[in-house]
Amino acid sequence: MSSQEWSAPRRRNPRGQGQVLKAQLVDAAAKLLATLDQPETLTLRQVAREVGVAPASIYSHFPDLSALIQHVLRLRYEELARLMDEAARPAASPLADLVARCAAYVRWGVDQRGHYRTLFGGRMPADLVPGTAHGAGAELLGAVVASLAAATTGERERRTADQQWQAGLMLWTALHGLVSLYNDHGTIPWPPLDGLITDLLSLHTGRPAAEVEALLPQGEVASGPAAGLRGT
C-alpha cells in the first residue's frame, strides 16, 4: 500500500536540490494525513519511511514535526479558500455566489475527506491549524456570512447585524454537519449530495429549491461516501 515499500535505496539529490526532499516530505505528510485512520497520530518516522529517508533527515528541512504538519495544513486551507473564491467569482447574483461557495465547500469536504477532518475535525492540536483568529475557518465563515447576508437582503424585513451573523453561523454549522456525517457514517443510506446541498440552501435562504438547483454548478461528487480515500 505504501507507495515506496522497497524500490531503491533512494539516490541522494544533486547539489543545489536539497529543496526537492522538502517537497517530497510535504507531499508524503499530506498523503498520510489524508489517508491515516487517525491523522492526529501522524508520526515523523512514518513520513520518513514513506519518502524512504532517515528520520533525522527531516530536521534539515523542518525544525520539528509540528512545523511540517503546520505547513501541510496551511497549504490545504489555502487550497480550499481559493477553490471557494474561484467558484464564486463568475457569480451573476448574490444567491449564485452563495450557492457556488457552499457547494464548493461541501464538495471539497467530501472529495478530500481526509484533509477536511484534519482541518475542521478538531483533531489536530489547535495551534497547528490555520485560520488563526477563531480556529480553522474564521475567514471562510466570514465570507459565508457576508454572502448569505447579500443573498437574503431585500427579502422580508431587513435583518440586524446580529441576526445576519446568527444566520450565517447556522448555515456554516449545517454545512459542517453535513460534510462530517457524510464522511464519517458511510453506511447510512445517503441521498445524492447535490440534492442535500440544494435543500439545505433552499432552507436557509428561503428561496425555492428549483431556483437554488438552477444555480448549482455542475459536478456531482463521483462516488458515494466512504468509498475509500482519494489521493492528494
Residues engaged in binding DNA (CB under 7 A): 10-21, 42-46, 52-57, 59-60, 64-66
List beta partners, residue 133.
135
3 vs 43, beta carbon nearer DNA: 43
Question: Among DNA, a second copy, none, what binds residue 52 when CB lies within 5 to 8 Å by partner kind?
Answer: DNA
Among 24, 137, 152, 201, binds a second copy (CB under 8 A): 137
**Cα dihedral angle (114, 127, 71, 100), rounded to 10 degrees?**
50
55 vs 186, beta carbon nearer DNA: 55
Question: Among a second copy, DNA, none, what binds residue 210 when CB lies within 5 to 8 Å by partner kind?
Answer: none
Q: Find the shortest distance in angstroms from Cβ 132 to DNA.
A: 22
Q: Find the shortest distance in angstroms from Cβ 223 to a second copy.
A: 18
Does 134 participate in binding a second copy (rule CB under 8 A)?
yes
How far is Cα 140 from Cα 3, in angstroms, rounded to an integer?
A: 34
How far is Cα 84 from Cα 90, in angstroms, rounded to an integer?
A: 11
Q: Are 69 and 33 in contact (CB under 8 A)?
A: yes
Question: Among a second copy, DNA, none, what binds residue 209 when CB lies within 5 to 8 Å by partner kind?
Answer: none
3-class state of residue 143 by DSSP? helix
Question: Among a second copy, DNA, none, what binds residue 134 when CB lies within 5 to 8 Å by partner kind?
Answer: a second copy
Q: How far apart are the first and last CA of the chain?
A: 15
Does 24 participate in binding a second copy (rule CB under 8 A)?
no
Question: What's the CA angle centered on 29, arms 23 and 30, to 5 degrees?
Answer: 90
**Cα dihedral angle (204, 208, 209, 215), rounded to 10 degrees?**
-90
3-class state of residue 206 by DSSP? coil
* Binding positions for a second copy, rule: CB under 8 A: 37-38, 40-41, 117, 121-123, 125, 133-138, 141, 162, 165-166, 169-170, 172-178, 180-185, 187-191, 195-196, 199-200, 203-204
